[in-house]
Structure 1
Amino acid sequence: MVIVMGMEGSANKVGVGIIRDGEVLSNPRKTYITPPGEGFQPAETARHHQGVIVDLVDKAIKEAKIKPEELDAICYTKGPGMGAPLVCVAIVARTLAQLWNKPIIGVNHCIGHIEMGRAITGAQNPTVLYVSGGNTQIIAYANKRYRIFGETIDIAVGNCLDRFARILKLSNDPSPGYNIEQMAKKGKKLLQLPYVVKGMDVSFSGLLSFIEERYNSLKKQYTPEDLCFSLQETVFAMLVETTERAMAHTGSQEVLVVGGVGCNERLQKMLEQMCLERNAKCFATDERFCIDNGAMIAQAGLEMFKAGVITPWDETFCTQRYRTDEVEAVWRTD
């Protein structure tokens, strides 16, 4: 029986999760929410995380009904993400590892999403659509690596949605993407937006600039609900197209959508429709596990720990750029 604690804080969510052999024992989380029209800055986000993370550790241990000495390892997000928030969580992880005399494991944020998704849904070897505020990638596993088949060449889809929400002055509570999703359900009129797919890669910055530059004239013809509807339909169609192409290339019959944007029910429905036409299966999780959380870092760390992967003390740093395909997935069996 292996019990590990995972700590995540790469963006505006900070969480601590405890997992025992794949079972989630606890997974408390806090979100730093800024006023409408504003994004979150690294320094202020880090200060938020510093103010709540000790309480989250305490809460996670109490909810899990364990004692610190029962833990086998402490895991933390090594990257990618925002520098200051990453570092503040890593410092807490290093401190606890020393206080409790536990091994420490630095986890790739994306690998955390993938392994959590696989554990929760039971997907075996899926093509993965990873969509979040900072990342957009189409991924498939081969020969001990999660290979990137396609990705955004500029901004992530979540960042595109966030910045669009700022144009409309939508609330950041609980998240800009969620509020866009609810408004899009009432949209009726489709605005033709730039649709940019280049091979296996996608681009969102031109689409965002198109709306930003024309917003004053567009709002005379389209309601905010129409614009939310049009944005979702366009960017999600781009993602489904490239995901399907990756499935065709790999011969995969499974799709797993992970990351914060993966909670979007419209995106899930579009993926399900594509899978239905291919006689494939679509897997997704709800907001407990697709939004950044500590349990996903614990789950990936658990797999690494059982495979004998421990991070040497002099390598327990953070990096804002940590590619998914840099990690050797020694825990996977081909």
Structure 2
Amino acid sequence: MPVVLGMEGSANKLGVGIVRDGVVLSNPRRTYITPPGQGFLPRDTSRHHREHILTVLKEALQEANLQPSDIDCVAFTKGPGMGAPLAAVAVVARTIAQLWNRPIVAVNHCVGHIEMGRLITGAGNPTVLYVSGGNTQVISYLERRYRIFGETIDIAVGNCLDRFARVLKISNDPSPGYNIEQMAKRGKKLVELPYTVKGMDVSFSGILSHIEDATHTMLAAGECTAEDLCFSLQETVFAMLVEVTERAMAHCSSQEVMIVGGVACNLRLQEMMGMMCQERGATLYATDESFCIDNGAMIAQAGWQMFCSGHRTQLEDSWITQRYRTDDVEVTWRD
């Protein structure tokens, strides 16, 4: 069975993973963490990836107990994502593919999340909720494409949570979304926030603007706590996501839901989605943070599927596309 090495660096996570026939042999990762109140800029994130990628590559080979000669294919994230970090990793993937004289496969980041989720959970043909810092989509597979039923029309849910964490000056270690989740557990008062579902699509920019404007006045007046605001934001945006996911399930006559992406490891989101699934007699599939947060193994797994079904990326085409749509990929490895 072929052994595929995957490289991921579309945002602040840098990962290199190695997969062979559905088995993750290694999956080391480095995260670029900024001070509280700050996001991560493309230039600085790219520098972080360049500084650490060879170390992480060596770790991946050592953990898997493999040599470069054992690798059959190099996969990398083509997009979507931040341009400079994507390019930093793509350059290394192209270089080692040529040095090792191995074929290269360009992988869609979103498809990587889906294929990793399917591998880890064993889900058959689920309705997928893909939620991360850069993406929010409800997806279902049909006729060689992952079809997007609904998505955010402005910012992603993870970006909404991250930016609110900056308002509260919450630590970015290990991630702002995780720290909001912990604060939300201590929240008791539900503050009413805008709820914006438009058909199958969702919008988070209005909620973010509203809570940003209200935060300082409400906290100063003692109307609520920061924990209450974290709780209220989570409850509102997650309810929106559950609603559109359930509507997609009804449309597809689906009895399976799989949540993937960095926000997917939020236990409150899993709990709310689980309640909806229980009412419908459906099954929920979710993974832990080692696989739902961006990692190299998910790119290796999608690359393995593509490689085994005959995909090869020509060197002149092995570049990045920041806006690489999930439904742009022909899924030749299913059906």
Q: Same fold (TM over 0.5)?
A: yes
Q: Distance in 2 between matches of 1:5 and 1:53?
A: 13
Q: Secondary structure at the match of 1:267?
A: helix
**Matches of residues 127-138 of structure 1 in structure 2 within 5 Å?**
127-138=127-138
What is the identity, as a one-letter code, of the residue corresponding to 1:224?
Answer: A
Residue 161 of structure 2 corresponds to: 161
Q: Where does residue 176 of structure 2 map in the other structure?
A: 176
Which residue in the other structure is 1:4 paired with? 4
Structure 2 distance, partners of 1:54, 1:264, is 31
Partner Cα distance (1:29, 1:244) in 2: 33
1:323 aligns with 2:318: no
Amino acid at match of 1:293: N
1:204 aligns with 2:207: no
User: In structure 1, which of residues 286, 289, 295 is the aligned counterpart of residue 288 of structure 2?
Assistant: 286
Alpha-carbon distance between aligned partners in 2 of 1:17 and 1:218, rounded to the nearest angstrom: 45
For residues 1-334 of structure 1, the aligned pairs below 5 Å read: 1-219=1-219, 220-333=222-335
Q: Aligned letter for 1:41?
A: L
1:178-210 C-alpha deviation (Å, 9 max, x unpaired)? 000000000000000000000000000000000
Cα-to-partner distance string for 1:74-104 (whole Å, 9 max, x where unaligned): 0000000000000000000000000100000
Q: What is the CA–CA distance in structure 1 between the aligned matches of 2:218 and 2:152, rounded to whole Å?
A: 26
Q: Larger deviation: 214-223 or 158-167?
A: 214-223
CA shift, 1:168, in A, is 0.4
SS in 1 for 2:113: helix
CA drift of 1:217 comes to 1.5
Matched residues in 2 for 1:210 and 1:161: separation?
A: 13
Once residues 201 and 158 of structure 2 are traced to their aligned partners in structure 1, the CA distance between those partners, rounded to angstroms, is 16
Deviations 1:281-327 (A, max 9, x none): 00000000000000000000000000000111110010110000000
**Offset of 1:70 from its aligned partner?**
1.1
Question: SS state of the match for residue 189, structure 1?
Answer: coil
| Structure 1 residues 4-44: Cα deviation after superposition (integer angstroms, max 9, x where no partner) | 00000000000000001110000000000000000000000
* SS in structure 1 of the partner of residue 141 of structure 2: strand
Q: Deviations over 1:20-75 (max 9, x none)?
A: 11100000000000000000000000000000000000000000011111111000
| CA displacement at 1:222 relative to structure 2 | 0.9
- SS of structure 1 residue aligned to 2:330: coil
Q: Distance in 2 between matches of 1:270 and 1:287?
A: 18
Q: Secondary structure at the match of 1:74?
A: strand
The SS at the match of 1:40 is coil
Deviations 1:155-189 (A, max 9, x none): 00000000000010000000000000000000000
Q: Give the counterpart letter for 1:302 in structure 2.
A: W
Work out the CA distance in 1 between the residues paired with 2:151 and 2:192: 23
Q: What percent identity do the matched residue pairs reach?
A: 70
* Structure 1 residue 211: Cα displacement: 1.0
Counterpart of 2:89, as a letter, is V
**Amino acid corresponding to residue 272 of structure 1 in structure 2:** G
Letter in 2 for 1:53: I
**Counterpart secondary structure, 1:14:** strand
Amino acid at match of 1:35: P
**RMSD of aligned alpha carbons:** 0.5
Secondary structure, in 3 states, of the residue corresponding to 1:218? helix
Matched AA of 1:226: D
Q: CA deviation at 1:216?
A: 1.9
Deviation at 1:250, TM superposition (A): 0.3
